[in-house]
Structure 1
Amino acid sequence: MAPSVVNGSRNGDVYKENGESNNAKIDTLHLENLLLRDENIYETSLSSDDYLESLAPIIQDAIKANGLSELIQKLSGIVKEKDEELNDLSLNSTDEINSCIDTIDEIHHGSTELNKSLMSVSQQLNKSAFELMSRKKSLIKNKEVSIQINETIVVLNECIQVLENTNRIHELIKQKNYFSGLKLINELTSVHLQKVEDFSFAKKIHDSIPHLTKMIKDEAFENLCKWLSINSERKLDAISDGIQENIYYLQDTWTEKKKGNDSLTPYKLNSPVELSLRDPTAYYNIFEDTSLQINLDTIFDAILVYQTLHEGDILSTLYHKEWMKKYNRVIYPITSATAEGVARFQSLKVLDDYLRKIGAFFVMDKQINLVTKFELRSNTTSDDLWESYVTKLIPVLLEFLKSHKFKKMDDLHSFKEITGNFLQIMENYNYRITELYEVLMVLFKDYFAPMLIQEFRSDFIESIQSDHYMPLTVDRKSDYENIMRICWYREDAPFAPKNVTKMPITFPFSEDYVHYCLGVRSLLEDIISFIGQHYSYELNELNHIIVNDIFERVLGDEKGVGICRDIQDFIAKNENNKEVTSQSYTNLEYYLFSLYEIGKLINRRLRSNTGIGIHNIDANDTFTLRAVDHYNNLKKYAESTIFKMVDGKIRELLDMVEYDDWLPTTRNSEANYSVKDFALFLENLFTSIFSNLPQSIRTLGLFRTYDFVSEHFLSVLNSATGYNKIAIENFDLDIQYVEESMRNLYKMHQSGESESSQGNVALETTFTELRQCIDLLKLDDYDEFIKNSAFRMRNFDRIKYEDGVALIAKVQGYQEPDTSLNADEGDFGDQQSILSNAAASKFASFATKFRRE
């Protein structure tokens, strides 16, 4: 603060008032003012730090201004002035001092009186102090007694607490609140008993603690066993009902979800796709089902008791033994051996009830594991128990199938539903069902497939036996559309929708084919329906069974199984019935075509419903059933049956044409009546048999008939012992009539002019040998034939030389000339024979060509 004053405005003002311009001097008035600025500076002791701190700046300024001597002088002056002022002040204060002395005397008198009072008070205080000390001693003694009393009260309270806790423990045991009782025992031993351990009753209580602990432990487990008996045995029916309702709900939910999305069709319940789309709240929890009222306090209490005692492993072992007792009681029926070695169930209802209980038991096992956090049993232990049980159950289910010999398809469906639902429940709770799934495969392959085959075969046999075996005709458009939707046919068929303009319409096939197509489609749909649920695994094997054990067998030629054999037996049985044989052959044409379409249909349906098609087929679905080969053979058999029947009919007709008179005297103006009858019967026969047959078989049948007729009449001619010219002319007239009749018959069964002209040429080749024989016998001179080889080759190339000579020799009145020939002629005759054989071979090849077509 001093420097600011020295260097401040006051210093500047002083210089201005005195008019001094010399900054080296310090104004005396200014120094005086500086020294007097604060009167407190002199009221402070000279040794005071404040004084020195205040004076130091002034001295520094004086030194800087070279005015230190003047400063000292001024300071001395000031001191003197102050001494004078002090002396004056002292003299003026004498009265006041005297007054103060009087006052001091009064104060001294009062203090003397006060001292006396204090002495009296001191005495009183001394007296009170002695009394206080006496009372304090009494108080201390009383406090000591009070402390002892309080300590006694505390001990008594602890004793009471021990007794109360002991009684409380017994009450908790009676109330089956074992864990609380065990906690109270722990509190009793660790807190209360230690405070009263010197009392005899406390020692007895302490000694009884292990017994109480054991009692709690034993009764906790016994209560757990009772809980198991009530909930794992008595409530199994109710639990199984809840589980079954849940599996039905899951099945219905998944079915509805698949209806809106065809890509989900191949996936079954419990498949990864279904599980990924399942609502998490759809899982069934036994302990959340309020209708069951299963309280878990008992099982939790037992776990806490044993965990508190660090005996969790012991509880797990005891629980496992108890659970196995329940398990053995629940599965009992299949552990009771019969004479056959395995248990038997009397009916599907009994089996269903049993499997429902078993399912509930194993589901509860895993849910207890989950809710107890695997403190009692692990899922591995549960799975091992399940695997052990499955090995016992499989023989029982197979024996049930074998012993009951189901005769109704509904029974097989019921067995599949019972077993399939059981498997889905087990799989839904993560049990392995691979081995048990084989029962469903056996059911499908060994029971469902044979029964389905026999049902289809029975319907088919009934259909072919009740068929009228005539082309099917419909006059209503709805019927036509239904047939087109059911039957398989070629797109270019004459009855295809694009070729139909009006009703009625006649199909080449009979009702039998319609029933067959409908039956095959129903057969496939029955299979798809059967495997549509529960069949989720071994899909390749499943497809193999469907194709090879069902369709290949039922469509094949296995006796008593395949309809191909049934058709063959039916044709054989009716081989003389021209309507049955001819219509059966026509139907076989469509049967054979349908097999190719059935293979495609099976592949498509299996691919859409199981996710995989049939193995070893290309992308164009060109799978072909092996039954095609059987039907090709059956078609050949039907063809041979038709020809055999035709041959028999023709033979019967030809037997009616008799040639008894080979030496007539009159010429006939027209063919013999028996020949005309034969031609008429032949025309009717072909019209009734071949009218609906394919072009190739009609053509082949006609040529076979031509050949047969030609050979017959040639045989008649060769077998005659002798004849005259008139007989030959009459015979020629008959043959001409037959030839003309058969040409007309051929034209009736051809679809085009080119085919008809080609057929006529072929027909002429059929009768060539017979015609040449007749023409030979009609010659006026036989020498040309006998002697002129060129003539023979030009006109009679189909007749062997020796055969021609034999025919000529039978002519009445003919004198056989010398037939000795030179070597050249003999060689030529052999050559003619060879050429005739070549021509015959050519016709045989021609006939074979038609037969192949």
Structure 2
Amino acid sequence: MPYAIEQRVDPDVSAQQITLSSLESQYFDHLIPAIEDAGTGGKGQQLLQSLAHFSIEREAEIESICSTNRQGFASASSQLLLVSEQSRGLMADIHALSRSTQTSTETLAREKKVLVESRAVRQNIDEANEALRDCLEVLRLANQVYDLLGRKSHYSALRALDELQDVHLLKITKYKIADTIQNSIPDTKKLIADAVMTDLNTWLFRIRETSQLLGEVAFFHVEQRRARHKDRGEKLMSLGNFKLNSAVESVADEDEEFDILDNEILQIDFTPLFECMHIHDALGQREKFKVDYASTRRQQKDLLMPSSITLVDPEGSSLSGLLEGIAGFAIIEKSTMSKARGFRSLADVEELWDSMCQTAIALVSTALPEVTNAELLLKIKGIIALFIQTMTSYDYPVQKLDTFLLALFDKYAELLKRRFSDDFQEIVSTDDYMPMPIHKSDEYDKVVNVSWYTPEKPRQELRFPCILPFSQMYPLCCIDIRNFLNQFYFFSDDHFQHLKVIDDTLKASLDELLCGKVCQSLVDRLSTQYLGQIVQILINLEHFEIACQELEHLLIAARSDASASGAVVLKATEDFRNSKKTAEKRIFELVNSKIDDLIGTAEYDWMASTFETEPSNYMQTLTRYLSNIMNTVLLGLPTEIKELIYFDALSHAATMILSLPLSPDVKCINPNGVAALAQDVHYLTEFVATLNNPILRENLDELRQTVSLMQAENSDEFYDVATRNKKYGRVDAMNGPTLLEKLTSAVHTPAKPDKLTALSSRFGMKT
């Protein structure tokens, strides 16, 4: 451990320093350390001895000096005596002066006493003045508070009041005026609070009055954003896949700065609210102020909502005004939350928002039944969609509004179906059901563009006027179908989250319209007896089936929901296909009915005594009828349908002709009767041969083989299975014996051999 080295002081040196000190301060500076050292070290005696020794040395030195200067000393003594005498004279003067001074001092003392007393009075006066000044300052500050209130400087007034209470009143607490002012401070604070609340209520009233304008500006700004986003989407397709208010859209539009609360149209200053908050914070009434403010905003919300609105005004001002007011009110609430954090809770703001949304939905729902126009409803949807997009940008929940759009869409779909149902009904009922004539090329192009129709001939090979296979109702219905599609998808523009609902509803609506209003109406008209009209209906049904198939592909390509997959199958496609079969059956019925009527006029004399050389009148009429309908009425039908109708007609004719000899009324048939029947069958066969269709000719095989069997020399061949399969394979196993029985039981009346032989060779039959 380090230790201190004691510094020792030499007593002789200390004594010399003490005696040589010229100043009193130096004398004590050397004396005090020497005494302290002598006392602590036990060397006091040494110090005294050093001082005595030093004194002896100095006396010896003085004696030495005096002995060497005696004459001078004597002279000095004389002078000293003279000085002494003079000093006594001076002492007498001094005593006299002292007495005079004493007298003056007594006088001065008396005057001083008077002065002291006057100073005490003066001090009291000064203290009184100072107190008065302090009181006046307090009164000035108190008056200043009211002056500031008069100038509506509420926060400055409160700060001045705090300064008055915390600083200046403390200086005059011993005066009664301090208590008076102190007691008035709570009333003054209440006065400040009331004044600032009055200003705040005025501000809130102005805010409520400008809420609709604020909402209108917000709507306008969102419309501009929407237009900019659309332009960007057209220039860059990838941006078109993102919706408004998405992160990508927000980044792309960040260069367009716009302050909704401070722009060239309106400026909203929150200073009154902030001042009121600060004052209530200073008054310790923040929670009470929050409750009062929330209550006031709820009351303003109730005043903002009307008792009813109308949706049928052309400009939509009633609905727009309602939603603009709600938007402005909600924007103020969000701005208040962001500017005054902790003042408005998210729960309170969303409670107001939810209440306003519910009220708005209720008002619109109440007024919705008066809307009977789809375009007006689409405009209403556009206003609500703009409102939703605007409030989404302020992070308000819009699920209830999105759900309400579904109700609007249902109403919209119903109005569209009702309107187009009437249109389809009118088109179907007023159609002439004749092939559509086209007189000009531009008219042809319009029909082809709107219809799902593929012409058989190229455009350049057509000559006008020309005839299209379908009637006028088909392109008119195609136009309505396309308009129906477009107007359905109009609802998905701007904002609609339920895209799959549009696709499903559109499909169901198309099925309902096409099946119920077009297909069923055409089927109902099949009851007519006019074959040409039924044929035209069949042709229209054929084209409607094709249109439905094309429509299915179009619906897949036009899906609103990009995530949807799979085929779209319209029930109408199958309905038109089945209705085609119904129309075909109806044509079969009419043709067969006509055939029945013609064959019903047949007058065969089965026991004729002579041989007819000409075909029967009914057969000539029948073939002429079949030829006429094929070349006129059925000309526009597709080839396969025409062949099917001809096949069925010929099959029916053959069956009916064959039923003539099989009739229970025919008991016997002679060869002349068979020859007459064979002549008609041959005439019919030659007519079918002119059609150049082997399948149609095969349709008469049973009839021809049955007649050949009736003319056979050896009818027993029919009963030989091998021979029958070879020569009479198409003859019914029951009809053959029946006819042979009628033939064999007949009483033969032979004709003239030469004439019978000639007829037999003409028709290729054996006699």
**Which residue of structure 2 lines up, in the alignment, with residue 326 of structure 1?**
300
**Structure 1 position 494 matched with structure 2 position 456:** yes
Output aligned runs, 1:353-502, within 5 Å: 353-375=321-343, 377-401=344-368, 403-404=369-370, 406-445=371-410, 447-472=411-436, 474=438, 476-489=440-453, 494-495=456-457, 500-502=460-462
Q: Deviations over 1:551-583 (max 9, x none)?
A: 33333x3x4xx533333234x344x33233223
Task: Show CA shifts across 1:221-264 (max 9, x none).
Answer: 233223223332x3344334433433443343334443434444
2:554 counterpart of 1:601: yes
Alignment of 1:572-721 (within 5 A): 572-574=526-528, 576-606=529-559, 610=560, 612=562, 615-617=564-566, 622-655=567-600, 657-719=601-663, 720-721=666-667
Aligned equivalent of 1:729: 675
TM-aligned CA deviation for residue 411 of structure 1: 2.6
Does the aligned pair in 1 maintain the 2:217–2:260 contact within 8 Å? Answer: no
Which of 467, 487, 502 matches 1:542? 502
Q: Mean alpha-carbon deviation: is it higher for 500-509 or for 764-773?
A: 500-509
Q: Is the 8 A contact 1:266 1:611 kept in 2?
A: no
Cα distance, 1:243–1:600 mapped onto 2, change above 3 Å: same
Provide the rounded CA distance (Å) in 1 between the counterparts of 2:166 and 2:703: 133
Q: Deviations over 1:515-549 (max 9, x none)?
A: 233322222211222221231x23333333333x3
SS at match of 2:491: helix
Which string of whole-angstrom CA distances, capped at 9 and with x for unpartnered residues, describes residues 43-80 of structure 1?
Answer: xxxxxxxxxxxxxxxxxxxxxxxxxxxxxxxxxxxxxx
Q: 1:240 to 1:485 in 2, by over 3 A?
A: same
1:605 and 1:813, CA in 2 relative to 1: closer, same or farther beyond 3 A?
closer
Q: Which residue of 1 aligns with 2:165?
A: 189
Give percent identity, aligned residues only. 22
What is the alpha-carbon distance in structure 2 between the residues aligned to residue 319 and residue 434 of structure 1?
28
1:313 to 287, 292, 304: 287
CA separation of 1:515 and 1:366: change in aligned 2, threshold 3 A: same
Q: Is the 8 Å Cα contact of residues 596 and 623 (structure 1) preserved in structure 2?
A: no
Corresponding position of 1:169: 145
Asked if the contact 1:552/1:627 (under 8 Å) is kept, the reply is yes
2:534, 2:587 within 8 Å by CA — same for their partners in 1? yes
Q: Which amino acid aligns with 1:742?
A: V
AA of the residue aligned to 2:331 = V
In the other structure, the counterpart of 1:531 is 492
Residue number in structure 2 paired with 1:215: 191
- CA distance in structure 2 between the partners assigned to 1:792 and 1:542 by the alignment: 67
- Bigger mean CA deviation after superposition, 623-632 or 684-693: 623-632
Residues 314, 662 of structure 1: CA spacing in aligned structure 2 closer, same or farther, 3 A cutoff?
A: same
Structure-2 residue corresponding to 1:260: 235
Q: Tell me the distance in 1 between the aligned counterparts of 2:359 and 2:174.
A: 64
Distance 2:237 2:552 in 1: 22
> Which deviates further from its counterpart, 256-265 or 579-588?
256-265
Map of 2:742 onto structure 1: 810
Counterpart of 1:689 in 2: which secondary structure?
Answer: coil
Query: 2 CA distance for matches of 1:709 and 1:174?
Result: 114
Q: Deviations over 1:84-123 (max 9, x none)?
A: xxxxxxxxxxxxxxxxxxxxxxxx9xxx9xx99xx9xx99
1:798 pairs with one of 708, 718, 730: 730
Is contact 1:777–1:807 with CA below 8 Å preserved after alignment?
yes
- Counterpart-to-counterpart distance in 2, 1:810 and 1:690: 40
- Contact (CA 8 Å) 2:634, 2:642: kept in 1 or not? yes
Contact 1:460/1:563 (CA < 8 Å) preserved in 2? yes
Cα offset, 1:709, TM superposition: 0.7
Mapped pair 1:568 → 2:514: no
> What secondary structure, in the 3-state scheme, does the structure 1 residue paired with 2:570 have?
coil
How far is the alpha carbon of 1:683 from its aligned partner?
0.8
What amino acid is the match of 1:616? S
After superposition, residues 329-348 of structure 1 pair within 5 angstroms as 329-331=303-305, 333=307
Task: Tell me how far apart the structure 2 counterparts of residues 798 and 723 of structure 1 sit (CA, whole Å).
Answer: 21
Residue of structure 2 equivalent to 1:844: none
What is the rounded CA distance, in whole Å, between the counterparts of 2:283 and 2:595 in structure 1? Answer: 107
One-letter amino acid matched to 2:562: I
Equivalent AA in structure 1 for residue 347 of structure 2: T
- Matched residues in 1 for 2:290 and 2:409: separation? 42
Give the stretch that moved more between structures: 259-268 or 639-648.
259-268
Alpha-carbon shift at residue 294 of structure 1 (Å): 4.5
State the distance in 1 between where 2:618 and 2:746 align.
Answer: 30
Please report how far the alpha carbon of residue 212 of structure 1 lies from its aligned counterpart in structure 2 after TM superposition. Answer: 1.1
- Residue 667 of structure 2 contacts residue 742 of structure 2 at CA under 8 Å; is this kept in 1? yes
- 1:796 deviation in Å? 2.9
**1:128–1:743 distance in 2 versus 1, CA, 3 Å:** farther
CA RMSD of aligned residues (A): 3.8
CA distance in 1, matches of 2:195, 2:162: 18
| Cα shift at 1:783 | 5.6
Give the 3 Å change call, closer, same or farther, for CA 236–203 of structure 1 in structure 2.
Answer: same
Who is 2:762 aligned against? none
Q: Decide which moves more: 689-698 or 238-247.
A: 238-247
Q: Give deviations 1:133-184, integer Å, cap 9, x for gaps.
A: 9999999888777665554443322211111111121222233322111101
User: Could you give the per-residue CA deviations for residues 471-492 of structure 1, whole angstroms, max 9, x where no partner exists?
Assistant: 44546443444344333346xx
Taking the aligned partners of 2:613 and 2:740, their CA distance within structure 1 comes to 24
* Residues 266 and 506 of structure 1, relative CA distance in 2, 3 Å threshold: farther
Q: d(CA) in 1 for partners of 2:719 and 2:383?
A: 96
Partner amino acid for 1:628? T
Unaligned runs of at least 5 residues, structure 1: 1-107, 335-342, 748-755, 817-853
Equivalent pairs counted in the alignment come to 654
- Residues 470 and 509, structure 1, Cα contact 8 Å, conserved in 2: yes
From 682, 705, 709, the counterpart of 1:776:
709
- Residue 235 and residue 258 in structure 1: after superposition, are their counterparts in 2 closer, same or farther (change >3 A)? same
**Correspondence for 1:158 among 119, 124, 134:** 134
State the alpha-carbon separation in 1 of the partners of residues 715 and 397 from structure 2: 100
Aligned residues of 2:280 and 2:289 also touching (Cα < 8 A) = yes
Question: Relative to 1, partners in 2 of residues 1:502 and 1:705: Cα closer, same or farther, differing over 3 Å?
Answer: closer
**TM-score if structure 2 supplies the norm length?**
0.76
Contact map agreement 1:359 1:422 (CA 8 A) in 2? yes
**Structure 2 counterpart of 1:766, which letter?**
N
1:188 shift after superposition: 0.6
Aligned mates of 1:153, 1:290 — CA distance in 2: 58
CA distance in 1, matches of 2:345, 2:318: 31
Which moved further from structure 2: 659-668 or 380-389?
A: 659-668
Q: Secondary structure at the match of 1:690?
A: coil
Deviation at 1:592, TM superposition (A): 2.2
Aligned-partner residue type, residue 585 of structure 2 = S
